[in-house]
Amino acid sequence: MTSAVTYHRVSTADQDPELAREDLRRGAQARGLDVVEEIEETGSGARGDRPGLARVLDLARRSRISTVLVWKLDRFGRSSLDLLSNIKALTDAGVRFVAVTQGLDVQPRGDAMSQLILTVLAGVAEFERELIKERTAQGVAKARRKGVRLGRPRALTRDQVDRVRQLRFENVPWPEVAKIVGCSVSSARRAAPAQKGTPEQLSLTA
């Protein structure tokens, strides 16, 4: 099977994809591939809602294509982790991946060059993963130094619940209630459902 799809993503609507489109068509022709679908979409790639990419991967999983051609590597993933995952999804499905302007050709058969490319990508992805973990740890440490409470919010004690209801009975605004009691606004709201009566009566119904 020599059927292929071309995939191209532009980051903003004002970019002209015509150059990439022509390069992709020439790349397919030079490799003797029959392009059955040209998939283009616009977006930064930072979000997960990429229907065009989802379409490419679906065609690969259903064995409808033999090759995916992209203009450049960064058009096929929003990060090295994402890129490696997408290429692996293709090769696992027996589909070839080609970046036409960069001379990269990853074969599902696992030839030496393909393995080298995947190994390099895996190394970069692991480096990126470690950077993310390090930055996350630094962010957590910084938040803790500032006294920010992390993790799931703690359940309010009975005294806190009663205090919330007393303050709300006195028409104290929610943000001020949360500040006085030492909890989030959402926790305070959960502690004081909209009911009528005195704080003592509300406490008895809890």
Catalytic site residues?
11
Alpha-carbon distances of 122 from 61, 85, 107, 202, rounded to whole Å: 22, 9, 16, 59
Give 97-155 as a DSSP string.
EEETTTTEEE-TT--HHHHHHHHHHHHHHHHHHHHHHHHHHHHHHHHHHTT---SSPPP
Helix (H) or strand (E) holding 180: helix 174-181
d(CA 50, CA 53): 5
Question: Quick one: DSSP state of residue 74?
Answer: G
β-strand partners of 177 = none
d(CA 101, CA 43): 21
